[in-house]
Structure 1
């Protein structure tokens, strides 16, 4: 039977996505202009909810296409302008460069990463210890590096583990070419081991993702909004860490404790063990690699190790934008490993570029949020409170908005409003400092609730490993729930109990003592150490 043109168009629209999903997107596209005519504010919130829906259904259809269609319509009907969207992209150019170059740079270091993490997984046979190690190391790295970079490393490692087992379970040797996205070649007796291995890797991915939030909130370089807040407040690295520490350190301890509890008692699908057959295969792989390492291979691994040191030093020292350091990783890793043809280099960009495009669509949605003033009523309402109640409300409001929007955007909007209030004399400098702490912790901690709250989580959701591990939006929300509750309540308790007041007081005392010593030393012409 010959297909009609309308049927052909319907079949091509969003490809193999379910029919109900296609109908939902078409419905959104029809009602949005009508809502915009009726009430632009309602239409703006409808667009945000619809975009979150496309993220939640990421395993049904990659969000770039449906989200992009919704945004294009929003641009055409005037919810925002292409110029404003471009402005949001320019403001976030460092994040875009990071995704384009840093993720590709990590790709060229996968041999070293897989080698080291294979040793770690095989050495730490206790799942609880391994989970805490993943969370703690991700937190430490995220305090000095970018969370997206850390997640890119973890994804690379996870994909490496998965492809090794999937290849062997399909009856092939370590060197064979293999498509690990299809399970047809995996015999039935091995399917249960494959599912158990997926659950094990899902656990590690989520622990590592949460770790990036635990470390990212601590320092001014941990998250993009931290830099914005530190700049507005005039804080250096040490002052930022000290002022945040009464909240961030208890939260860090609570986070690792949560890791222990969910693994120990197998809560929220955690506690999945590495199947013995998988451990045996990874052990064989490790032995195979060690036995077949040539001098050239050892030299390449050594060079990748040196490049990794440059990566950490370069990012920690802020010698250049993160993306530019990523570009240097690509140049160094490829030139020293003989990867000189365009086709081989191009493979490294396959993972990051779709997400980069999706993030640009997200920046367009942020432009809609700003132009339609979707958060303005909440911001105005929170500013009506005073004292400790105001701190708590800032923390909660930032957290709730960060769950549905980007925490960088929410943090930027709130710190700008608070800075304006300080400049107008509506609040004191002491109030400003305390509110800045509440804004930073509020945007970083409760935002772990959903993948759209943090770019690193969204990257994990839309990465190549998510469908392989059956890591859907709902699964991420469910697995993050114990962390969301513990981190949010711990941060809230620290804010309410006035710990940030104590730190502010102690830090001010330190500054007074330092300035007094400096003045006395200046009178005696004696240098004072900072």
Structure 2
């Protein structure tokens, strides 16, 4: 009886995940307490690697459950505390609110998004031009909005396209209810479906990289940018100008990489939209245009106005991103007649699982801090001087951002450098250069892995990832050429261009020149 009960408990554990995966997670849980008793530092890095493993296996099992079990055990054995995890969540509360409210807000604007992007995909038949349009639009929006918001838009659009084709290919009407997670009804169109998946994967990855290209440019592009700008005392304009010697060349080479990948069809890029799918999307567009009532048109116009409010509100920082997202929910639902609780609740289904996973991730960040996992690297980098130190900061930030959250890495490094400035170990001009290296280092090489940037992680764990067969490994593979190009160009610009360009900007009086004496007096008054 006991044996059968244990077997039943084991079968329930992690549901239909593969047996080898279940045994691996159990092995992790058994090993970690023993390893922590032997060497806490090694145990900490082991936990980080195990958590990355759960992210890599996201298509086998959503990372929240196995990652959450590992974190709960880590707290019980003393790797970190619930209080520290709560502190990390509080520090990142804006990101949490963004996910809860902004993603739900985008859900209620999907009619407008589908209208605009369907027109774009149908009108622009050249795949290269379409890819450049997606990456440029993502970069531009991410420079003023949050990257997660932009990715939420792209995911919503991709899901809309996929569900439309899957529904029609299954023999149903546009307005019919349909389960697009099963391919049973479209087995006779498997070739077109796979090609369409590859096409959408291309657009998703181009857009995700675009958020990194744009997000690095401005102080509102990424959360760590705000932290760095605040520590350095830079305004919006000064931040953009200081970053420009690195970010503008990187942006140009990023677009050039897109052209090469699409033309040469490397790293799974270059997939074309099947003609049958294009015909279905055109039929859908015509169907919606013909059947659009005055109320539907009014809904699109109101959503367009809400979209303007969204862009203006975020670009001018009228309120935190999450609160603006909440305002979008209120405005979009009240003006479109969505007043039932269950109808509103559907909008939160996409965001809340990832929000819970992100909180677990903040717990892992707490482990990284409590066990001092990055301290040896930080001290080693600070031991260098001059241009070598700037290059090492860039590389160290990049490598650590591939493993951990780039917001955490950026905030840790800028705090250390600020302390060095206040202690008189570096001059103010050195500090400004290092701040640029830290910002670009955390934003650019981190596209290598989904755990490097929250936007990439959101895409990996979203509802569209399993539909498009977009696994952790595939994301790493498709991001590899961008990772190599952005990292090398960013490094070259940091080493070869940044110093000369900054001096030229000083001479043109576009940015303020800080002498060592000014820095020392500023530190003393501080």
Into which bin does the TM-score normalised by the smaller protein fall?
over 0.9
The 5 Å alignment of 1:488-507 reads: 488-497=487-496, 499-507=497-505
Partner of 2:154: 154
Q: Give the TM-score normalised by structure 1.
A: 0.96
Residue 190 of structure 2 is aligned to residue 191 of structure 1 = yes
**SS at structure 1 position matched to 2:336:** coil
Partner of 1:213: 212
The 5 Å alignment of 1:231-380 reads: 231-380=230-379
Structure 1: 4+ residue segments shifted above 2 A: 506-515
Would the aligned equivalents of 2:368 and 2:374 in 1 still touch at CA under 8 Å? yes
Unaligned ranges ≥5, structure 1: 516-530
Would the aligned equivalents of 2:401 and 2:452 in 1 still touch at CA under 8 Å? yes
The 5 Å alignment of 1:217-228 reads: 217-228=216-227
**SS at structure 2 position matched to 1:397:** helix
Deviations 1:433-476 (Å, cap 9, x if unpaired)? 00000000000000000000000000000000000000000000
Deviations 1:381-404 (Å, cap 9, x if unpaired)? 000000110011000000000000
Post-superposition shift, 1:503?
3.0
Would the aligned equivalents of 1:170 and 1:187 in 2 still touch at CA under 8 Å? no
Post-superposition shift, 1:513?
9.8
Post-superposition shift, 1:512?
8.9
| Structure-2 separation of matches of 1:204 and 1:258 | 14
RMSD: 1.3
Partner of 1:436: 435
Deviations 1:309-341 (Å, cap 9, x if unpaired)? 000000001000000000000000000000000
Partner of 2:520: none
| Structure-2 separation of matches of 1:514 and 1:480 | 37
Would the aligned equivalents of 1:169 and 1:187 in 2 still touch at CA under 8 Å? no
Partner of 2:415: 416
1:232/1:514 CA distance change after superposition, 3 Å: closer
| Structure-2 separation of matches of 1:494 and 1:503 | 10
1:36/1:141 CA distance change after superposition, 3 Å: same
Would the aligned equivalents of 1:85 and 1:364 in 2 still touch at CA under 8 Å? yes
| Structure-1 separation of matches of 2:406 and 2:181 | 32
| Structure-2 separation of matches of 1:305 and 1:244 | 32
Partner of 2:517: none
| Structure-1 separation of matches of 2:124 and 2:297 | 24
Post-superposition shift, 1:514?
8.7
Would the aligned equivalents of 1:263 and 1:271 in 2 still touch at CA under 8 Å? yes
The 5 Å alignment of 1:120-159 reads: 120-159=120-159
Partner of 1:406: 405
Partner of 1:475: 474
Would the aligned equivalents of 2:170 and 2:186 in 1 still touch at CA under 8 Å? yes
Would the aligned equivalents of 2:506 and 2:512 in 1 still touch at CA under 8 Å? no
Post-superposition shift, 1:257?
0.4
Would the aligned equivalents of 1:445 and 1:484 in 2 still touch at CA under 8 Å? yes
Compare 103-112 and 499-508 and name the one that shifted more: 499-508
1:208/1:514 CA distance change after superposition, 3 Å: closer
Would the aligned equivalents of 1:242 and 1:503 in 2 still touch at CA under 8 Å? no
Unaligned ranges ≥5, structure 2: 514-526
Partner of 2:112: 112
Partner of 1:520: none
**SS at structure 2 position matched to 1:426:** coil
Post-superposition shift, 1:185?
1.2
**How many residues matched?**
513
